Amino acid sequence: MADFHVYDFENEYVGKCYYTHKRGRLSSMFSYSLDYLSQSGIYNVDPAFQMIEGSQFVDSPIPRAFTDSAPDRWGRNLIYKRHLYEAQVNGVSAKELNDVDYLLGVSDLARQGSLRFKIDKGGAYVHESSEIPKLIALPKLLNSTNALEASGSHEAIKYLLDVGSASLGGARPKATVRDDNGLFLAKFPHIHDEWDVISWEYVALSIAKSAGIDVPDFELVEVDGSKVLLLRRFDRLSNASNAGEISRVGYMSAMTLLGAEDGQKADYADICLHMADVSVDFSRDLSELYRRIILSILINNTDDHLRNHGFLRDGSGWRLSPVFDINPNPERGEARATSIYGQTDRVVALEALRINCSDFKLNEGEAASILKEIREVVKSWRDIAKRAGIHQREIELMETAFAQ
């Protein structure tokens, strides 16, 4: 049995995770440190844990809260390709990497949320990496993601891993960059994109902002003729009184909140039920979620799976993070990942939301005015798309996503 140590924020020791990897199966246990449990103001880092002494059984390969600090498709691919290359150079056979290898394989500086990991208790956080690149490195980062997709360039993979590109989840090429005040997530185009996905995500965020939904600061920039979306990282805060100092904010996905498997389908009613247990401002989160669901229906954002909903640590509990990864989908027939009272059809789902508005602490009048307000805002989609420089051909292609 092997282990690693779990910390929070700057240097707060949380506990130890034990794991074994046998016959291709990873299993783990977690135990809180007694010092951690004896402090005031601490929190349960995973809703599946109990705040008790001793080892706790984990019903997923690694605790889900740690999965939220681990890479997903994009980062895992980088780490695996690097591993294959190093094995080849060293003349050894490559091994099958497991969730712990991936968790410990990303840059600590860019790691999602506030949890951090060490292999040796007295040692350094894993893994140490070069500095987060400044915004000026965007062309190099973009070129590297392109070189990786085009030729599997080992140099590109090494550079991207060194600068923390693998740290955040999701499948799309991305990197973390910084300015003097904090960190940004940069999302890049992918060679197999069938449309200008990045610009359309910008359109969706612009609509969300006008619809009163909490969005991170965002900007669409052009880098070497490609569109790149910059999003201020909501899991980092810059210290107003000490310029340059950046602190971490705890993060948890809805997958972790619900104790769900990766890829498991869920319903917004389940998210509401679980939110009730942890939310520090439940009324705010309910009405915020209500707006997000309506927006998702009206722009046909169907990829609303549990990892595309997140929560930030706030005092003694959690609150919904700003919205992210919302994308209009022109495939009108595609079912959404998270159903709405069991419905995925947009007309029936809107009706289900109206009927059940009291679950969101809204009366029928309030629910109707939210729907009306967001419908009005969505109508401006073409203007926003044109201002974003999206080609007329693509605006026509996307018509079906916004048709009401």
Residues in touch with Mg ion (CB under 5 A): 170, 308, 325
Question: Is 216 among the residues that bind ligand ADP (CB under 6 A)?
Answer: yes
Q: How far apart are CA 5 and CA 11, in angstroms?
A: 11
Question: Is 325 among the residues that bind ligand ADP (CB under 6 A)?
Answer: yes
CB 68, min distance to ligand ADP, A: 7
- CB atoms inside a 10 Å sphere around CB 396: 11
| C-alpha distances out from residue 114 to 4, 15, 145, 187, 312, Å | 16, 14, 26, 21, 10
Residue 168 interacts with, from Mg ion, ligand ADP, none (CB under 5-8 Å by kind): ligand ADP
Residue 203 interacts with, from Mg ion, ligand ADP, none (CB under 5-8 Å by kind): none
With CB under 6 A as the contact rule, the residue among 21, 81, 233, 319 that binds ligand ADP is 233
Rg of the chain's alpha carbons, rounded to an integer? 21
Question: Is 307 among the residues that bind ligand ADP (CB under 6 A)?
Answer: yes
Stretch that binds ligand ADP, among 163-171, 276-284, 332-340, 351-359 (CB under 6 A): 163-171
Contact set for ligand ADP, span 174-203 (CB under 6 A): 174, 185
Contact 153, 147 (CB under 8 A): yes
CB 401, min distance to ligand ADP, A: 17
Q: Which residues pair with 203 in a beta bridge?
A: none
Residue at shortest CB range from ligand ADP: 170
Question: Is 310 among the residues that bind ligand ADP (CB under 6 A)?
Answer: yes
Contact 14, 121 (CB under 8 A): no
Question: Is 76 among the residues that bind ligand ADP (CB under 6 A)?
Answer: no
Residue 185 interacts with, from ligand ADP, Mg ion, none (CB under 5-8 Å by kind): ligand ADP
Residue 216 interacts with, from ligand ADP, Mg ion, none (CB under 5-8 Å by kind): ligand ADP
- Contact partners, residue 363, CB within 8 Å, separation at least 6: 357
- CB atoms inside a 10 Å sphere around CB 77: 16
Residue 338 interacts with, from ligand ADP, Mg ion, none (CB under 5-8 Å by kind): none
- CB atoms inside a 10 Å sphere around CB 262: 14
Q: In sequence order, what DSSP letters do the residues of 78-112 get, joined into one string?
A: HHHHHHHHHHHHHT-------HHHHHTTS-TTT-S
Q: How far apart are CA 317 and CA 15, in angstroms?
A: 19
What the block records as the tokens of 209 is: 């902002």
Residue 310 interacts with, from ligand ADP, Mg ion, none (CB under 5-8 Å by kind): ligand ADP
Question: Is 2 among the residues that bind ligand ADP (CB under 6 A)?
Answer: no
Taking the least distance from each CB to ligand ADP, the nearer of 293 and 357 is 293
Q: How far apart are CA 265 and CA 260, in angstroms?
A: 8
**Strand 338-339 and strand 266-267: pairing?**
parallel
Taking the least distance from each CB to ligand ADP, the nearer of 21 and 116 is 116
Taking the least distance from each CB to ligand ADP, the nearer of 125 and 218 is 218
Burial class for 127, CB neighbours closer than 10 Å (0-12, 13-18, 19+) = middle
With CB under 6 A as the contact rule, the residue among 66, 117, 234, 311 that binds ligand ADP is 234
Question: Is 235 among the residues that bind ligand ADP (CB under 6 A)?
Answer: yes
CB 188, min distance to ligand ADP, A: 10
Question: Is 371 among the residues that bind ligand ADP (CB under 6 A)?
Answer: no
Q: Which residues bind ligand ADP (CB under 6 A)?
A: 74, 112, 168-172, 174, 185, 216, 231, 233-235, 307-308, 310, 324-325
